[in-house]
C-alpha cells in the first residue's frame, strides 16, 4: 500500500506547490513510483509537471463525473499526475450534496494505493472542502513553512484543522514533517525564523532547508521540476537532499 501525503498550508506563497512538484520528481529520481494529485483549482502543480491544464479528463471528472482514475492520470518523466484546472473550483459546491462528501477523494484514490509508493496531494491554500478531502484521504501531512516574518501565521489554524480531522474523520492522520522553504543563508533573519520553527515543532522539522533560488522560481514556467531544469543548481540539490532525508525517515 502506498503512503498518501497531503502537502498543506492555507497561507499562500509558502512554496507548497513547488515542494510538491520537486519532491515528486526527486522521489521519482530515487526510483520511487509517485502520483502527484493536484487538488488546487489553480492547477500549478499540473503545469509545473509539464501537463496542460486543459487536459481532460482530470480530477474534477474523477470526483464529480465518475471517471476512472486510470483515465484521468497523465504520465510524465518526473512522475504521474492527476491534473486540475479552474473547473475544480466548482467541485467544492457540488461535493456538498454528495454522500460522505469528506471521503470522495479517499475513495477515488483507492485504486492508486496498490500501484504507487507515494501519493502526494497538493492542497489549495485554504481550509475548504477540497483540503478536508485531502486530509481525510492522507496518512500524513507535510507542511512547507517559508523563512519569512509571517512564517507561523496561520499554522495554528492548520494544526487545529488537522486536530479536528484526526478526531472526526481520520484518526490515523499524522504530521509527516515541516519543510523550511525560501531560506536565505545570507540573512540572520532566516536563521531566526528557522530557529523559531524548530523550537515550535522540534524533530518534525527537516534538516534540509530549501533556498530562495532563481532556478526554483524559473522552472515552473518551463513546465519542469528544478532537478530537470537545472540539475546542478542549489535548488535541485536541496530537493534531492530533501528526498533522501524523507526516505531515510521512512526506513
Please report whether residue 64 resides in a domain: yes
* Residue showing cell 540539490: 237
Contact status, residue 68 vs residue 112, Cβ threshold 8 Å:
no
Domain total in the chain: 1
Measured CA distances, 223 to 48, 105, 199, 215, 226 (Å): 5, 26, 36, 13, 9
Please report whether residue 231 resides in a domain: yes
| 34-38 sheet: strands from edge to edge | 74-76, 79-82, 34-38, 118-122, 3-7, 140-146, 174-183, 205-211
Please report whether residue 195 resides in a domain: yes
Q: What pLDDT is stored for residue 25 in this prediction?
A: 97
Question: Can you tell me the distance from the alpha carbon of 61 to that of 125, in angstroms, rounded to the nearest whole number?
Answer: 21
Question: Can you tell me the distance from the alpha carbon of 101 to that of 129, in angstroms, rounded to the nearest whole number?
Answer: 8
pTM of the model: 0.95
pLDDT in tens, the chain (251 residues): 899 999 999 888 899 999 999 999 999 999 999 999 999 999 999 999 999 999 999 999 999 998 999 999 999 999 999 999 999 988 888 888 888 899 999 999 999 999 999 999 999 988 889 999 999 999 999 999 998 877 777 788 888 889 999 999 999 999 999 999 998 878 888 888 888 889 889 999 999 999 999 999 999 999 999 999 999 999 999 999 999 999 999 98
Please report whether residue 249 resides in a domain: no
Distance of CA 195 to the CA centre of its chain: 24
Contact status, residue 168 vs residue 216, Cβ threshold 8 Å:
no
Question: Can you tell me the distance from the alpha carbon of 14 to that of 77, in angstroms, rounded to the nearest whole number?
Answer: 26
Nearest Cα neighbor of 138 from 172, 164, 112, 92 is 172
Please report whether residue 92 resides in a domain: yes
Can the peptide bond before residue 71 be classed as cis, meaning omega within 30 degrees of 0? no
- 219 burial type by CB count under 10 A (0-12 exposed, 13-18 middle, 19+ buried): buried
Nearest Cα neighbor of 176 from 218, 121, 113, 110 is 121
CATH number at residue 119: 3.40.50.300
Please report whether residue 251 resides in a domain: no
Please report whether residue 250 resides in a domain: no
- Cell matching residue 1: 500500500
Length of the chain: 251
Contact status, residue 144 vs residue 175, Cβ threshold 8 Å:
no
Q: What pLDDT is stored for residue 26 in this prediction?
A: 97
- For residue 168, what are the domain limits? 3-244
Please report whether residue 126 resides in a domain: yes
Amino acid at each position: 500500500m502506498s503512503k498518501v501525503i497531503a502537502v498543506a498550508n492555507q497561507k499562500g506563497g509558502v512554496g507548497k506547490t513547488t515542494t510538491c512538484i520537486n519532491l515528486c520528481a526527486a522521489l521519482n529520481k530515487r526510483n520511487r513510483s509517485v502520483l502527484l494529485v493536484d487538488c488546487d483549482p489553480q492547477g500549478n502543480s499540473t503545469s509545473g509537471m509539464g501537463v496542460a491544464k486543459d487536459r481532460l479528463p482530470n480530477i474534477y471528472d474523477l470526483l464529480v463525473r465518475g471517471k476512472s482514475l486510470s483515465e484521468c492520470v497523465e504520465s510524465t518523466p518526473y512522475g504521474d499526475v492527476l491534473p486540475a484546472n479552474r473547473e475544480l473550483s466548482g467541485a467544492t459546491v457540488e461535493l456538498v450534496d454528495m454522500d460522505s462528501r469528506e471521503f470522495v477523494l479517499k475513495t477515488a484514490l483507492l485504486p492508486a494505493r496498490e500501484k504507487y509508493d507515494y501519493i502526494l496531494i497538493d492542497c489549495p491554500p485554504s481550509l475548504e472542502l477540497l483540503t478536508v478531502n485531502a486530509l481525510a484521504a492522507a496518512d500524513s501531512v507535510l507542511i512547507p513553512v517559508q523563512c519569512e516574518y509571517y512564517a507561523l501565521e496561520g499554522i495554528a489554524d492548520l494544526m487545529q484543522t488537522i486536530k479536528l480531522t484526526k478526531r472526526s474523520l481520520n484518526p490515523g492522520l499524522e504530521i509527516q514533517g515541516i519543510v523550511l522553504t525560501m531560506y536565505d543563508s545570507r540573512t540572520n533573519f532566516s536563521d531566526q525564523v528557522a530557529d523559531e520553527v524548530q523550537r515550535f515543532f522540534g524533530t518534525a522539522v527537516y534538516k534540509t532547508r530549501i533556498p530562495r533560488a532563481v532556478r526554483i522560481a524559473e522552472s515552473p514556467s518551463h513546465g519542469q521540476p528544478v532537478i530537470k531544469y537545472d540539475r546542478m543548481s542549489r535548488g535541485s540539490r536541496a530537493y534531492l537532499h530533501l528526498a533522501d532525508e524523507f526516505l531515510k525517515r521512512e526506513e
